[in-house]
Amino acid sequence: MRIPCPYCGARSSHEFAYLGDAAPTRPDPSAPDAAEAFHSYVYERDNPAGPMDELWYHSAGCRRWLKVTRDTRTHAITAVAFAGTGEGGR
């Protein structure tokens, strides 16, 4: 699988470290239900078939975090941008 880095161009997935689903947000540790919320955040994840936003770190390249939209059935990548910025837009 090749990932089109907005800075470095298309590179092998071996140059990247996979973090996972880009959707979950870290719970508030001071919330009354923090223990249950953190359990869900860490252990309960969906495993969808189809397009999914994922976080990948380009460890052997520009060392930037990327938000990659990838179809989990075919591994086809439809969009890539720098995580948290919206830049890149491939």
Rg over alpha carbons for the chain, rounded to the nearest Å, is 15
- Ordered by start, the domain boundaries in the chain are 2-25+33-82
pLDDT digits (tens, 9 = 90+) for 40-64: 999 988 888 999 999 999 999 999 9
Nearest 5°: the CA angle 58, 64, 69 is 70
Domain 2-25+33-82: state its class.
alpha beta
Report yes or no on whether pTM surpasses 0.85.
Answer: no
13: helix, strand or coil: helix
